[in-house]
Each structure stands twice: as C-alpha cells, then as structure tokens.
Amino acid sequence: MSFLDISQVSKSFGGPPVVDHVSLEVPRGEFFSLLGPSGCGKTTLLRMIAGFETPDSGTISIEGEAMNSVPPHQRPTNMVFQSYAIFPHLNLFDNIAYGLRKLRLPKEALRAKVEAMLATVRLEGLGARAADQLSGGQRQRVALARALVREPKILLLDEPLGALDKRLREAMQIELRALQRKVGITFLLVTHDQEEALSLSDRVAVMEGGKILQVASPRELYERPNSRGVADFIGEINFFHATIREIGSEFVTVNAGLLGIIRLPHANLAIGIRSDDHVLLAIRPEHVRFASEGLAGEIAAATFLGDRSHFHVRIAGRSDPVAVSGSAPPAGPVHLVFPPEKLMALPAGD
Amino acid sequence: MRNRALFLYAFAYLAFLYLPVLVLPVFSFNNSEFIAFPLSGFTTRWYAALAGDTAMLHALGNSLKVGLVTALLSTILGLSAAKAVTHYRLKGAGAALGFISLPLFIPDIVLGISLLLLLGAVGLPLSLAAVVLGHMLVCVPFALTVLIARFEGFDRNLEEASADLGEDGWGTFWRVTFPLMLPGIVASLLLTFITSFDEFLVAYFLSGTEATLPIYIWGQLRFPERLPLVLALGALILAASVGLVVLAEYVRNLGVKQPMVGA
Amino acid sequence: MGGTVADRGRSTGAGYSLLAPTLVIMGLALAAPLILMAVTSLKSQSGISFSQGWTLAQYGDVLGRASYRRLFLRSVLISGAVTLATVALAYPIAYFVAFHARRKFIWLVALTIPFWTSYLLRVFAWKIILGFNGVINSGLMRLHLIGQPLEFLLYNPFAVVVALAHAWAAFAILPIYVSLEKIDRSLLEAASDLGDSALRRFLRVTLPLSMPGVIGAAILIFVPTTGDFVTPELVGGPTGTMIANVIEVQFNGVGNWPLGAALSMVSMAMVGVIAGLFVASARAAMKAAR
C-alpha cells in the first residue's frame, strides 16, 4: 500500500467531470507534481486531498487510512495556498505559530519550534514583522513555514511560485527542492509550468481534461511521452503525420510523407500502436540537425538565446515551420536531417 | 487653474454644509431667548437647564435604548445575509438583496404609516418595540451595504488556511473570521445606531406615548422660549457624535496590528 | 483559483438558511404592512372603524380633487428641484475628493460631520438662517447691503428646496464619490494619450463612468424627499406644503385613514413611475451617447 493512494477519484460541479476516474500512487518522501493547463483538474484534485472538496466517487487514503470522511482540519496534510493566505491581522511569528496553538505547548517549546522553522526558511529575526510588510518571496516562505511547522505527512503546494518574478522563482525552486530533501516529507505540487515540474520533481503526473495522461520521471516524460498531449505540453516538439507500415521485433517501418520511409527502433513506438495505424512522429528541436544534405528549407525566424539559438525553418509541403534548436547552420542553402533514433511514434488521436 | 477653482468650490461647499450646523452651538451660548442677531453675550444657562429637563432625559434614554437594540439587530441580520450572499452562490440572491433594500426607496412616511396599520390590524400597541421594528427596516439595508463590501474584500483562502492548520469551524470563526470582520461590524453598528438615533418620521407614527429624542425635539419646536435649550441639545448631540466617530477610528486602527504572541 | 470559485461544492442549503431570517423579517415588516395599506385604501372610514366592503371612493377623492392634484405636482417639482440641486452641487465636491484631495478620509469625515446632528434641528437651523430676523437678513442689514429684510427667503418652496438640498447632500456625495473613485485611473491616462483635453476627457470618460453613481444618488434623494413633511411644515409656509403634510394629517388624531392610505399609494405609485422612467431614459441616453 502506497503512502498516498488515490483510487478512481471523480468530481464534477454539475457539468462534465473536472476530475475523471483518477488513480495515483505516491510513495513516502517523494517530490511529486501534478502538471497540466488551467482547467485540467489538478487543483481540484489537490483540494480533494486537502479535504476542501469531496470526491463524488473513489477514495483517497494516506498511510492506509481512508480520508473521505475526514474534515480538512483533521487531515495529516498541510497546504501552501496560491495566494499564500497570510493572516493579515497577525504578525509573522503568530502566523507561523497559528497551527500550533491547539497543541498547548509550553511557551518556550513553541517559541523554539517557530524559531527553528524561521531559520529553516531563512527568515530569522523577522518574527515581529507585520503581515503587510512582507515581500512576495517572504510571504511565500512564511506560508511554507506555517505549513511545515505542523510536521504534516504530506505538504500540498498550489502553484506556490506563480506570483514571483522569474529570478526569484528560479531561486525559490532550488530552495524548495533543498527543503524537501532536508525535511524528507512528501511534497505534492500543482503547477502549469512544465519547467518547474520537471526541475523539482521525482515524478510528474501530466493531466488534461480531468484525466491523467502519463505518470513518469521528468526524463521519461521528456524523452518518451506516451501521447500527443504529453509531448506537446512538455517542452517544444515537432510533429509529422505518418502511417505504420510494418512492426518488426527490432524495428518499425513508417511511411512518413515528407520524411520518406523511415525505420525507427521498436522502443520509440508508443504502447498500443498497431500496423496501418495513423501516427504522429515527434522529434525535439534540439535533435533536428542542420546538414549539407537532407530536407531543403528556408530559415523564417532566428532567436538568439545565449547558450543556443532557436530557428523556425520553412520546408516545402508543410504549413508549420520546423523548430530547430542548436548552433547556427553553415552558410548556404539550409538542409534538415531527422535522426530516426530520435523520432517517437505517438498515437494520432487526441 | 481648474484645480484652484475646484479647491475654492470645495471650501465654499463646506461652508454651506456647516452653516446651519454652526447655528446650533452659536445660539446655544447666546444669552437671549430670541434666535436672532445681534448676539447678547455668552451664557451656559441653557446647558444647565438641560440637565434638569426630565422629559428630555427620558426621551434621550428611549432613543439610546432604541438605537442600541436597532443597531445590534440590524447588524446581526445584515451579517447573516451578507455572509449568505457572498459565500454561497444562491439563486435569486440579487432579487433578495433588492427586496431587502426596498425601504431605501420608499418614503419614510409610507413605511411609518404602513407599519402603523399593521400594528393596528394585529392588535399590537404602539411602543418603542414598534419603533425598533420600523428602524430595522430602514437600517438593515445600510448594514448590508457595509458588511457586503467587507465580506467581498475578504480572502476566502484565509478560512481554508485556518482549517488546514487544524482549526475546526468555531475556532476558525473566532481566530480569523471575526477579527477580520470586526471593523466592518463596528462600522455597521455605528451607522445603524446613528441612523436610528436621528430618525424621526417612522418613530413619530410608531412610538405611541413614549417619545424618542427627535420626537421630543419636534414637540419643543413650537415653543419659542424652549428653542435655546433645544439648540443646546443639538450642539451636545453633534459633539457626542463626532467624539464617537473619532473613538471608533482610534479603536479600529488599534485592533489591526496587535501582535498576539502570548495569546 | 481558491477565492470565489471555492463555493462550488458547498451546500447551498446553509446559505439559504443564513439568508432566511433577514429575508423573512424584512418581508414581514415590509410586505405585510404595504399590502395592508393597499387594502386600507380600498375602504372608507366610518366613525372610528372601517366600513365593510370595498370602495374606490378614496381614489376618486385623491385623483379627483384639484387641490390634491396640485399638491402632487408641487411635491414632484420640489423633489425634482431638490434632486437636481443636491446632485449638481455635490458632484464637484465628490470629484474634488476623488481626484484632487490628498487626505481623502479626512475630507469625507469633514463632509459627513454636519449630518450627525438631529435632522429636525438642521431644518430648523435653516429657519433661523433664512428668517425675517435671521442670520442672512440681520447680517446683510448690519453690513448695510439691504434696507429691508428679504422676505422671499423663508416660508415658500424656495426654503424647502434649500433645506432639503442641504439635508440630503451626504446621500449625493457618497454614491457619486464611490463611483468616481472606482474609475480605473489608467483609463483617464489612455484618453489623454489618445488626444483628449482635460475637458473632453471628463465629458467622454469620467462623466459617463460615474453615471451609475449619479443615477443611484438621484433616486436615493428623489424618492424619500417626496415623503417628507417635516421640512415643509417648518419652513414651507402655506405655499410650500407637500403631499406628505396632507398624508400626515390623516393619521393624526381622528383623521381619515383610508384616505391617507390612498394618498400614500398614489404617491408611491407616482414616484415609482417617475423614478422608473428616469432610470430607463438615463440608460437609453447612455447607450445612445456611445
């Protein structure tokens, strides 16, 4: 039995289901993310784990104990809200101490706990600050400290870094990862930012339309997406329409239109695809190479990004340009090469 | 250029507003029974006379009683309605609010008379309780306006955060909801109290033999020799109201940043 | 997410039960009496009780008598004048506080303090100010600007309008201020950026956007002033009486309650229709002006 067990959970608000028969297992101590566009159900799922929404069907269990009838204030979870929800009428110390009051700890013990947490999130000495005198980054850390000081079994984070500017966000991502490693508890993060999910998590569940598309480590999601939805959402990708001609034990032969007849390694075939199926061949921009021979094209746009450059290349017979990432092509007419071992065959349906 | 004209207008307008108000203190210290210029010297005898005016003091007591009860009841009703409308998506909420606010758009005399008819039909006597009922009609819309504005500015996440951190319903209410609502509640109490205290038209029809202060004043206005006393009373009411509002402001700012480290 | 969308799953039953007490009490205190008044207006008084049976005699009286019709007309005109004066005078000050005042709170407090005196005394104070020996007259005479006291100041509709415009000023200032305060300042900057002078910007952006507040204030002032009998009685004199005075007399002592009820119903209907027409035409005008 997993630490956090979500089994066939569904929820709707009077229309189509927002969360549709979702099942997930999260082991103890993992940094797990729910990733998806707005409206995909990830926040609703998080709120159901926290107890603010009740599933219409299915069960949520933590350490084997079913949580369905447990109200939020009795669950072993704590949440960092997107808006941080810092109590404006309390100062920093009292905000963090809020959830400890019920424990009726002796004054010194309480103070020690709070001060320790202040140090952990690097806010020492600011206990007396009023809530409205904190910066965005500080508020985020107060929200974290407030939740962690209660030593929950699972920390839930609802898009915690969305309100921060890019630099701060990146710094906070590193801190968050380090914090999770240090504290050792299960973190469950909800975000629409795939870079964030990939850089922080041990595993990610990609959601769309209330369903889970794929659950895997960041590397696997990037290199072996199982569907168009996942491939499209994670990083940038090029799609080509193709049909399966023959599936062998080691190789798969594909009729790839503009790219000709190609033989891919069997491993690059997504599960469930059969002969004659219409598929999408997907390849990441950094795997498309400029060469002296290959598919002829014309550079439509070029963006300098510091460590590499990004190009949009128009080729005949295709309306969308091909995205290519890497160093600049040699001078002269442009040709593109698509190494077969980097092409993934995904189901063409939605 | 436009700013200056506007600025001058602002002060002229203020003068227009304060002119009648200043009449009260000026002539309440005037040593003459006649309310006219020229002034006849300074005196406090009218204020002294007020202290011995038992009828006035009785009416004042009535107004205070009615005002306090009205303020409390209106605020409580306003609170529950405001919470209902802002926290839940209720069908017909707009219509309900419109209905509750209807008294604002009905002349007070009609409100007073219709309640008079109701009491007569049901067989209840005219009394201060009837006045409270009438005043509630007028005050609940005000309370609602203040409290809805307060609730709408309230971050729902705060209550969820409190629950997430271990507080049950009551705990969340006392530790988060109530302290944050307090300024709104105080504002509502103040507004409804002042409205009720000063209200004449409805009270006139419903109070029966017990007079509220405005009714007492109305009765005095036809006696020229009582006028300076009445003006003295008005000046005192003004001073008390101003003091009350200053106090409320002070208390409001006091409650916001109070650290509760030992709580 | 989080905020208002959080109410999705909450049982609305709790919501309705919170709303119910207020709605029920207000309903009983408001609807029942008004219905009763409508009923009473259809009866006639005989001695100290109402006669059996229904009759439209009261309405016949109210609508038939020229003196009543004159009073209705005068009441509407006076209230209309009051509304116009109050709103027109209040708009500039509301504008000033919203856009040019630095300590807005202090201004708002200063503007509302005068209304914390007894309403009766404020009206009475105007009597003192406008009277034959009043503040204005004695002041002007002392300054030798006039030889005889001015007689047109008091005991006429003019005095009623002045007193009411003063009494209801706060009800104009606050709604107009709120709607001006809400205007997104970047809209004004955009208008300037697109070439509007200050005046054009005011007419094309500020004024239209503040209209809801202005209309709200107008209704808030027009309707109740038609029902005021205090001001006409104190400063109106014989030419300044309004319909409310006649209504009040019916309920004083042994008056004619059904007649009073009928007068009230007609008064409410008339005021309601006028207010409704006003709001509708204001909305139409705003649409046309686009």
Q: What is the ipTM of this complex?
A: 0.79
pLDDT surpassing 50 at residue C6: no
Residue A60: helix, strand or coil by DSSP?
strand
Number of residues in chain A? 350
Per-range mean pLDDT, top range of A85-89, B144-148, C38-42, C87-91: C87-91
At B27 the pLDDT is 85
Beta carbons of A83 and B157 less than 8 Å apart: yes
**Considering only alpha carbons, which residue of chain C is nearest residue B222?**
C234
Which residues in C lie closer than 8 A to residue A85 (C-beta atoms)? 2
**Do the chains contact at A83 and C6, CB–CB below 8 Å?**
no
Is residue B20 less than 8 Å (CB to CB) from chain C? yes
**Taking 70 as the threshold, does the pLDDT of residue C1 lie above it?**
no
Bridge-based pairing state of the strands A154-158 and A186-191: parallel
Q: A140 with A160: CB under 8 angstroms?
A: yes
The H or E element that residue C185 is part of is helix C185-193
- CB-based contact C161:C80 (threshold 8 Å): no
pLDDT of C148-165, one tens digit each?
A: 777 778 888 888 999 999
How would DSSP label each residue in A142-160? HHHHHHHTT--SEEEEEST
CATH 2.40.50 placement within chain A: 236-347
Domain A4-229 in this protein, CATH class: alpha beta
Q: What is the mean pLDDT of chain C?
A: 83
What average pLDDT score do residues B176-186 get? 86
| C3 shares contact with chain A (CB less than 8 Å) | yes
| C239 domain residue, yes or no | yes
Higher per-residue pLDDT: C235 or C138: C235
For residue B104, the 8-state DSSP code is G
Cα–Cα distance measured from residue C202 to residue B132, given in angstroms and rounded to the nearest whole number: 45
Cis peptide before B38 (omega within 30 of 0): yes
Chain C contact present for A13, CB below 8 A: yes
Mean per-residue pLDDT, B8-16: 90
Quote the CA–CA distance of A322 and A302 in Å, as a whole number: 12
Mean local confidence (pLDDT), B165-173: 88
Comparing A60-64, B143-147, C249-253, which segment has the lowest mean pLDDT? C249-253
Query: Is residue C283 very low, low, confident or very high in pLDDT (cuts 50, 70, 90)?
Result: confident
- State the CB neighbour count (10 A cutoff) for residue A108: 8
Pairwise CB contact (< 8 Å): C135 & B14: no
pLDDT at B84: 84
Q: Is B34 on the interface with C (CB under 8 A)?
A: yes
Domain span at residue C211 reads 59-288
Residue B162 pLDDT > 50, yes or no? yes
Pick the most confident of A46-50, B176-180, C10-14: A46-50
pLDDT tens per residue across span B245-254: 777 777 666 5
Indicate the pLDDT class of residue A168, thresholds 50, 70 and 90: confident
Could you tell me which of C33, C246, C235, C67 has the C-alpha nearest to residue B106? C33
Instruction: For an interface test with B, give the residue of C19, C138, C221 to mutate (most B CBs within 10 A).
Output: C19
Between B151 and A198, the more confident residue is A198
Choosing among C1, C4, C8, C10, which should be mutated to test the A contact, i.e. which has the most A CBs within 10 A? C1
Q: Which chain B residues are closer than 8 Å to A107 by Cβ?
A: 262
Shortest Cα–Cα distance, C10 to chain A (Å) = 8
Check residue C2 and give its pLDDT: 35
Nearest CB to C29 within list B6, B107, B136: B136
pLDDT in tens, C196-219: 888 888 888 888 888 888 998 998
- Nearest residue of chain B to residue A84 (CA atoms): B157
pLDDT in tens, B54-93: 888 899 999 999 999 999 999 999 988 888 888 777 777 8
* B262 or A262, greater pLDDT: A262
CB pairs under 8 A between A and B: 78
Cβ separation C8–A43 shorter than 8 A: no
Strand partners, A261: A255
Any A CB within 8 A of B167 CB? yes
| Residue C247: closest CA among C26, C41, C27 | C41
β-pair type (A154-158, A17-26): unpaired
The angle formed by the CA atoms of residues C34, C35 and C37, to the nearest 5 degrees, is 65
Residue C263 is assigned to a structural domain of this protein: yes
Please choose, from the candidates C127, C79, C138, C75, the residue with its C-alpha nearest in 3D space to the C-alpha of residue C237: C127
- Res. C48: pLDDT tops 80: no
Task: Kindly list the residues from chain B whose CB atom is less than 8 angstroms away from the CB atom of residue C107.
Answer: 10
Q: Is A150's CB within 8 Å of B256's CB?
A: no
Answer whether residue B222 shows pLDDT above 90. no
Does residue C80 belong to any structural domain of this protein? Answer: yes
Domain at A236-347, CATH class:
mainly beta
- 3-class DSSP assignment, residue A337: strand
If pLDDT is split at 50, 70 and 90, which confidence band does C83 have?
A: very high
CA distance C7 to chain A (A): 10
Query: Residue C120 is part of a domain; what is its CATH number?
Result: 1.10.3720.10
pLDDT of residue B75: 94
What is chain B's mean pLDDT, rounded? 84
Best of A18, A38, A44 to mutate (most C CBs within 10 Å, chain C): A44
Q: Contact C9/A43, CB-based, under 8 Å?
A: no
Determine whether the interchain pair C121/B194 forms a contact, defined as Cβ–Cβ distance below 8 Å: no
Shortest Cα distance, chain B CAs vs residue A189, angstroms: 16
- C-alpha to C-alpha distance for A35 and A55, rounded to whole angstroms: 20
Stated pTM of the model: 0.75
Residue linked to tokens 């250029």:
B1
The per-residue pLDDT for A30 is: 94
When pLDDT is averaged across residues A215-219 and rounded to a whole number, the result is 93
Whether residue B167 and residue A73 make contact (CB cut-off 8 A), yes or no, is: yes
With b for 16 or more beta-carbon neighbours within 10 A and e for fewer, the A122-156 pattern comes to: ebeebbebebeebeebbbbbbbbbbbbbbebebbb
Q: Is the pLDDT of residue C58 over 90?
A: no
Contact list, B158 vs chain A (CB under 8 Å): 85, 87-88
Query: Where in chain A are all domains bearing CATH 3.40.50.300?
Result: 4-229
Is pLDDT of B258 > 70? no
CB atoms A71 and B158 under 8 Å: no
Q: What's the rounded mean pLDDT across residues B138-146?
A: 90
- Confidence (pLDDT) at B260: 34
Contact B168 A73 (CB under 8 A): yes
Residue range B37-43: average pLDDT?
78
Position A98 pLDDT exceeds 60: yes
Contact with chain C for residue B247, Cβ under 8 A: no
- B-chain CB neighbours of A44 within 8 Å are none
Q: Which residues of C204-239 are buried (b: 16+ CB within 10 A; e: fewer)?
A: ebbeebbbbbbbbbbbbbbbbbbbbbbbbbbbbbee
Mean pLDDT of B24-41: 79
Q: Is the pLDDT assigned to residue C38 strictly greater than 60? A: yes
Q: Using the predicted structure, report yes or no on whether residue A87 has a pLDDT greater than 50.
A: yes
**What mean pLDDT do residues C83-96 have?**
93
A81 interaction partners in chain B (CB closer than 8 Å): 157, 160-161
Q: Give the one of A85, A91, A93 whose C-beta lies nearest to B161's C-beta.
A: A85
B59-223 fold: MetI-like fold (1.10.3720)
Q: Which residues, 6+ apart, have CB-to-CB distance to C290 below 8 Å?
A: none
Q: Measured between alpha carbons, how far is A64 from A77 in angstroms, rounded to an integer?
A: 14
C6:A13 CB<8 A: no
Q: Which residues of B touch C224 (CB under 8 A)?
A: 104-108
CA-nearest residue of chain B to C264?
Answer: B110
